[in-house]
Amino acid sequence: MNGRGIFISFEGIDGAGKSTHIEALAQAFRDRGRIVTCTREPGGTPLAEALRTLALEQAMDPLTEALLMFAARRDHLAQVIEPALARGEVLVCDRFTDATFAYQGGGRGFDVQVLEQLERWVQARADGAVRQPDLTLLFELAPEVAAERLAGARVPDRFESQPLDFFQRVARGYARRAEADPARFARIDASQPREAVWAAVRAAVAAKGFW
Ligand SMILES: Nc1ncnc2c1ncn2[C@@H]1O[C@H](COP(=O)(O)OP(=O)(O)OP(=O)(O)O)[C@@H](O)[C@H]1O
Ligand SMILES: Cc1cn([C@H]2C[C@H](O)[C@@H](COP(=O)(O)O)O2)c(=O)[nH]c1=O
């Protein structure tokens, strides 16, 4: 049984705990009879995954980095996100455009007005509106704690190896996006134990009337 399409994004600095809950949320929707696609950005299509590898591994200037993120997003929207929503499915995405405003805008200090223009072009829908998630779960955690959680877990990529002040700027970038669109965002205290974080995720989804 399909209902209307639902687009949920997970956001937060690296190590905030997003991935820990994505599959559980997908399963909770499946248990309610929904078809769910779990995907991620940058990535989600063969082309976007190739662009992800470049963005996470190659040195590049901030404009190139921002354009790669939006190029990957455009392909992802066209190939995966819009078709799934048109079929009435649930689409759960590990990061979306808020990450560009947080990492490229906040972290790198790239011009936010340029990002806003790219957002309007890349996310333009057939009806002229700009595609945004129906709900964004923002995992908020002090960068020091996130770094401790990630320490030794894996070889850090080009973003994960940034210093703490980079992630402080990323966190402020996320906070600005949440303040600008409070109806879309659920801000989750990710310093809590996993069970409490999971309860907050479920409560945010229920508050939107998605189940
Ligand atoms: N509430 C929690 N308390 C303590 N540790 C946690 C909690 N949630 C997740 N972790 C642990 O923190 C680490 C990072 O979690 P996770 O991979 O889910 O973060 P993430 O936000 O998806 O990171 P990234 O964006 O870098 O992939 C993992 O080792 C995970 O087990
Ligand atoms: C979508 C998006 C992502 N990033 C950064 C954020 C992360 O460090 C990596 C993706 O890796 P993840 O840990 O698997 O989430 O890419 C970015 O800088 N800009 C973006 O738009």
Give the closest residue (by CA) to ligand 1 atom 2: 194
Q: How far is the CA of 121 from the centre of ligand 1 (A)?
A: 33
DSSP collapsed to 3 states, 155-179: CCCCCCCCCHHHHHHHHHHHHHHHH
**Cβ count within 10 A of residue 10:** 28
Q: What does DSSP assign to residue 78? A: I
Return the percent helix, strand and coil in the chain, to nearest 5: 55, 15, 35
| pLDDT value at 208 more than 60 | yes
- Beta strands, E only, 73-165: 90-94, 135-140
On whether residue 134 sits in a domain, the answer given is: yes
Residue 1 lies in a domain: no
Examine the pLDDT at 160 and tell me if it is beyond 90. Answer: yes
Does residue 210 carry a pLDDT above 80?
Answer: yes
Does residue 153 line the site of ligand 1, with CB under 6 A? yes
- Domain with 179 in it: what CATH number? 3.40.50.300
Which residue in the block uniquely carries the two structure tokens 């070889």? 155
Contact 73, 96 (CB under 8 A): yes
**Looking at residues 118-145, what average pLDDT do you find?**
97
Structural domain contains residue 26: yes
Ligand 2, pocket-test mutation among 9, 159, 166, 167, most atoms within 8 A of CB: 159
pLDDT at 154: 82
Query: Is 6 annotated among the ligand-binding residues?
Result: no
Q: Cβ neighbours of residue 142 under 8 Å, at least 6 residues apart? A: 191
Q: Tell me which residue range forms the domain holding 70.
A: 6-208
Q: How many domains does the chain have?
A: 1
The answer to which of 17-26, 61-70, 149-158, 176-185 has the lowest mean pLDDT is 149-158
pLDDT grade, residue 2 (50/70/90)?
low
Alpha carbon distances (Å) from 142 to 16, 78, 183, 202: 8, 35, 23, 22
Find residue 137's DSSP bridge partners: 10, 186
ipTM: 0.98
CB 134 within 8 A of CB 208: yes
What's the pLDDT tens digit per position in 93-106?
Answer: 999 999 999 999 99
Pocket test for ligand 2, best of 9, 10, 13, 14 (most atoms within 8 A of CB): 14
What are the φ/ψ torsions at residue 90 (nearest 5 degrees)?
-95, 130
Q: What is the mean pLDDT of the chain?
A: 97
Overall pTM surpassing 0.95 (yes/no): yes
Cα–Cα dist 52/43, whole Å: 6
| pLDDT of residue 1 exceeding 80 | no
Rounded to an integer, what is the distance from CA 204 to the centroid of its chain? Answer: 16
The 10s digit of each residue's pLDDT in 55-81 is 999 999 999 999 999 999 999 999 999
